[in-house]
Amino acid sequence: MADLNNLLSPFFLNDKEIRKVIELLFFSYRDFTSGPDKILEKLNFGRAHHRVIYFVGKKNHITIKELLGVLQITKQSLSRVLNQLVSEKFILVSTGTDKRTKKLSLTEKGKKLENELSTIQIKKIREVINRFDVENINGFKQILYEMIEDNNKKTFQEIND
């Protein structure tokens, strides 16, 4: 294991040290997504599909407007991905209380895929996080939370209530 003290010097957070943090984020995210990426590739899906599947699974009957707010992508970008997920029967679109509102939910096939993708990532996080004490884990979570822009913290809170 790399000596993180040599990677991060909190007393000297100059550009060189901050770049190490950028690289840690890059490499950890790349490796965090590599397992699901292999499964998605077999389906001709990408990370955008994964994000849609994940958040539709997280909040059953999420509206398209809510999903756009979470993902912060254009309607056009979502439309391409969503149409594919609907046509391949991973997601079901239903009409909300007002006819203009479209609600999204995972089909059984979608639930199975979401579970398969999330299980890989949960296992990876659990294996790593179990090596640390509560203080380290909470510090890590606090750093990640503080990296979220203030206007997006509300969205994070809403999907976790």
Residue extents of the structural domains in the chain: 11-130
Q: Which fold has domain 11-130?
A: Arc Repressor Mutant, subunit A (1.10.10)
> Residue 90 contacts by C-beta under 8 Å, 6 or more apart in sequence?
53, 106, 107, 109, 110, 113
2-29 pLDDT, tens digit per residue, is 566 566 556 567 888 889 989 999 999 9
76-94 pLDDT, tens digit per residue, is 999 999 999 999 999 999 9
* Predicted TM-score of the model (pTM): 0.87
